[in-house]
């Protein structure tokens, strides 16, 4: 499923349009619908940071979705998040969106706002999703997907000339 075009703001007030402005060839977006869900999002944060360090093609974002009647964000005094939100969400990858929560949940196939959701996005497409806190099984599955992607896109090609025997190259085994 395609991730819908979603205008957000980062902690410094800069406009970030999802999925267009996402960094990373594989990107994890952690979606919460209430500031009180930050402890649930926190269960993913340390693991996601480790994955960013291990896999250069991977990034993650934390998206707080607040209700609103339109897809437009109202201006805020500091140009970005409200002061209380900015204080509680100090990382650079925190985003906030004011949109119709129900419409967004419907578009993404999410089962309400009582839980958080982790979506793995590639080229604007949601390729995997999970609900709730990070579990060992979910973490292992995510890391396996990142490894598979890295191996499939490593850029290694067969450099031996056509017709030459294999086995005499140090990389052959």
> pLDDT digits over 131-164, tens only?
999 999 999 999 999 999 999 998 765 454 554 4
> How far apart are the C-alpha atoms of 138 and 141, rounded to whole Å?
5
HSE-CB at 163 with a 13 A cutoff on CA atoms is 0
Q: Could you give the C-alpha distances from 103 to 8, 18, 168, in angstroms and in order?
A: 16, 16, 59
> pLDDT digits over 41-59, tens only?
999 999 999 999 999 999 9
pLDDT for the residue 156:
61
> How far apart are the C-alpha atoms of 14 and 102, rounded to whole Å?
25
Going from N- to C-terminal start, the domains of the chain cover: 4-71+80-146
Instruction: Give 92's pLDDT tier (boundaries 50, 70, 90).
Output: confident
Considering the domain delimited by 4-71+80-146, tell me its CATH architecture. 3-Layer(aba) Sandwich (3.40)
> How far apart are the C-alpha atoms of 162 and 155, rounded to whole Å?
19
């Amino acid at each position: 499923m395609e991730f819908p075009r979603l205008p957000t703001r980062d902690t410094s007030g800069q406009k970030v349009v999802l999925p267009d402005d996402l960094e990373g060839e594989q990107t994890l977006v952690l979606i919460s619908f209430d500031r009180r869900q930050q402890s649930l999002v926190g269960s993913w944060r340390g693991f996601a940071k480790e994955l960013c360090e291990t896999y250069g093609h991977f990034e993650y974002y934390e998206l707080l979705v607040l209700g609103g009647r339109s897809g437009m964000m109202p201006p805020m005094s500091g140009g970005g998040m409200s002061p209380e939100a900015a204080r509680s969400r100090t990382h650079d990858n925190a985003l906030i969106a004011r949109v119709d929560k129900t419409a967004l949940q419907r578009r993404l196939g999410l089962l309400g706002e009582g839980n958080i959701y982790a979506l793995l996005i590639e080229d604007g497409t949601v390729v995997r999703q999970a609900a709730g806190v990070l579990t060992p099984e979910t973490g292992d599955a995510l890391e396996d997907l990142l490894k598979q992607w890295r191996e499939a896109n490593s850029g290694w090609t067969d450099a031996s000339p056509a017709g030459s025997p294999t086995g005499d190259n140090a990389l052959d085994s």
